[in-house]
């Protein structure tokens, strides 16, 4: 597993990127940091985030253990809750499975990196407490995703013309 860390003056989010599987054409550390920062900087003055790039087996195991779904998934979000009295900027971890992201991108006729950007933004919103269980919450979350992706010149991921 390779471990890359980015803390720069251009983004407020400190990112720890852990590559736990081999996969061609992954986004760069800088892209991951830019996408995460696009969301997190809207809601927090400073943030720390870990993104793990996992294979399908690890994604399936975590999805089964934590969500009761015995299949790999695109992104899992694990929010960090600091103990009382501890104030650190860690928001949590995202586990992203590039094989699933690529399959979805191809199925939905999207670019791989654009769909990866969507997964990072979607996952970060979950870390901030957003969800899509109720329809009104889903509409709010999707609206934020669409706006942030549009600012990155990425098409509406929920378009219905595919």
Q: Is 126 annotated as a binding residue?
A: yes
CA-CA distance, 37 to 43, in Å (whole number)?
Answer: 10
Q: How far, rounded to the nearest angstrom, does the alpha carbon of residue 108 sit from its chain's CA centroid?
A: 18
Write the CA distances from 143 to 44, 135, 157, integer angstroms: 19, 12, 11
132 is in an annotated binding site: yes
In whole angstroms, what is the distance from residue 43 CA to residue 16 CA? 19
Gap between the Cα atoms of 88 and 91, Å rounded = 9
Enumerate residues 6+ apart whose C-beta is below 8 A from 77: 92, 93, 94, 123, 124, 126, 127
Backbone φ, ψ for residue 14 (5° rounding): -90, 125
Rg (Cα) of the chain, in Å, rounded? 15
- The answer to whether the annotation marks 115 as part of a ligand binding site is no
Annotated binding site for Zn(2+): 122, 126, 132
Annotated binding site: 122, 126, 132
């Amino acid at each position: 597993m390779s471990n890359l860390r980015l803390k720069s003056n251009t983004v407020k989010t400190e990112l720890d990127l852990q590559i736990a599987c081999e996969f061609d054409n992954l986004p760069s550390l800088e892209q991951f940091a830019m996408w995460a920062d696009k969301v997190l900087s809207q809601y927090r003055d400073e943030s720390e985030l870990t993104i793990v790039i996992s294979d399908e087996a690890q994604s399936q195991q975590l999805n089964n253990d934590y969500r009761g779904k015995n299949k790999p998934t695109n992104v899992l979000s694990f929010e960090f809750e600091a103990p009382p009295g501890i104030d650190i900027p860690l928001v949590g971890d995202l586990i992203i499975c590039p094989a699933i992201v690529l399959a979805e991108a191809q199925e939905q006729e999207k670019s791989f990196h654009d769909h990866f950007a969507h997964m990072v933004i979607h996952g970060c919103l979950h870390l901030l407490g957003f969800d899509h269980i109720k329809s009104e919450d889903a509409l709010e979350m999707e609206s934020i995703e669409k706006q942030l992706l549009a600012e990155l010149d990425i098409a509406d991921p929920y378009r219905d013309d595919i």
